[in-house]
Structure 1
Amino acid sequence: MIVGGTASIDSSKKARKTYLKMVQNVQLTDSVPKIAWRENPIIGFFEEDARRLHHPHDDALVFSIRMGDYNVHRVLIDNGSSADILYYPAFQQMGIDRTRLIPTNAPLVGFGGTRVFPLGSITLSVTVGNYPREITRDVTFLVVDYSFAYNGILGRPTLNSWKAATSTYHLMIKFPTDYGIRELRGNQMATWECYIAMLEMEDYQQTMCIEEQRTIVESVEILDESKPERTTRIETLASQPVRQALTAFLKRNQDVFAWSHEDMPGIDPSIMVHKLNVNLASPPVRHKK
């Protein structure tokens, strides 16, 4: 579950209280602001929609969308997210200039109450479906600097603007268009690929998104004054006495450093040479591409 970062209301405390009063007023008085009424067809899910799926399953709803000039795969449909999210690695692969990001101070609060501050927001054109039953909308994504199995998340802001209905049992999303109901099927194979990728992530990668990331600065220490190119790096997070003691120790033992291949004589070639176990009597063959 992801809370915060919503584009529908301001992020200030006063704006959130005002929005809460508006909701309470609607529930108590049953009066809602007038909106343009449009007759939409009824959206329903049927047992035949669940065909061509492996059952039973508890898979997430993952599919591909057209985002700007790119077909973006591994996009998660998340009814539990109050924000549309684009992960920074995907943002970089799309070749978007980082200067286009609009700064935002609204944090995202995830499972466990941890907070993540986005790099900024960006509005991109998103197209789903095929002509003529397709819709194109501008979606404001919060860009999060974290490597994840998914490239992005479509949350409630976009799903509500599409008037979309989702079914995790059918792994399908349906929404109205000017030419009838359009349906999109989730990719069950992509869902499991994302799941396996997340399981294989290192523990430190899993916690990066919920911990404050420290910038580690390193100091450059010269070990031989006569040869200034011989340097080493020491983290400045260590205290000054520890850095001084470590630098002195390295200077006293710099004779064990191998600065080039010439400093490593007598190494058996079998350590470095790789041999192919092939039959020398068989001539090599070049196959067609």
Structure 2
Amino acid sequence: MTTSRFLTITLSILLAASRADAQCTSCASGEPLCDASQLVSVEGFAETDTSCKSAQLANFQKRCCNGPPYDYCSICPDGTTPSGLNDPIPTGEFATDPTCNEFQFQPNSRTNLIPGQEGNCADTFLQRTSHYCGCPNIQQECYLCPDGSNPGNPDRGEAWATNSNCRGLEFLFSAFTADECQVYPDNFGVNFAAFCVCPGVEEPPADNPECSICNGNAVVNPDFIYARPPDAVFERKCSQAEEFAKFITNSRSCDTLLQQARIACCPNGSIPGLETNTMGASSGVARVGSTKMFVGLAISAMAILEAMVEVN
């Protein structure tokens, strides 16, 4: 019996050593979805190295792997066990919000927020939103509504800057630090607090001096649907784009976010330098351009940040 136990322990040690010496793979699971030139190199790393896990996380965040390394990045930045493992994370993705314990095993928890921070646990939604989980010394620093309350219309969908509903925007804002809260939301050029009907925030007037969809002219057909799934996340009517214009806070964002709507909805010649009303906007449905159908936070969060970069 003693000999058998000794052999079992010895075999376990050898297997552990073998795993420790195993060559790191580019993805934690499955084969890479990208060319080698797009992958973060794992050459020379062992499977158990922190550098290996960071590279695998980065490759997942670059959309080159199907899943992240789940044994990398704790919920709490300091590695402690959170006091609220069963508390909900209000991601806005599902009818029932996942608990903190469930969220840590969802791929989207390892999505990074800021482009260029791939492979950094501190920039994952898992750790950025750990204030929901009772992590020590972690507090929420940014809110969609200035007074920290919930938006009055959480299910309202925004189809131009973020392709998200207001619950999703509320979750996104909660992931920003105090410093980022002063910069990144403004980069959108959209008054999301007003759009989502936050308490105490006035709705802007219809005659927005910063943005008019048709340069002061009325749209040709308010009920014309110029985009719908699967080419767009939300169905878009000319009247909806016309209304959204009043929430845009600068002319640059106006030009960027409403270009498709202008092409489909405005009278020809109303926008200098832009050929408009070429889609037959009297009836039917147009599909202007190609808008990706974002599925889940793992993709939509990246899309939101990409949209911010494009606007700037």
Is TM (by shorter chain) over 0.5?
A: no
TM-score, normalised via structure 2 length: 0.22
**Which has more helix, going by share of residues?**
2
**Which has more strand, going by share of residues?**
1
Instruction: Select the structure with the greater relative contact order (CA < 8 A; seq sep ≥ 6).
Output: 1
Larger Rg: 1 or 2? 1
TM-score, normalised via structure 1 length: 0.23
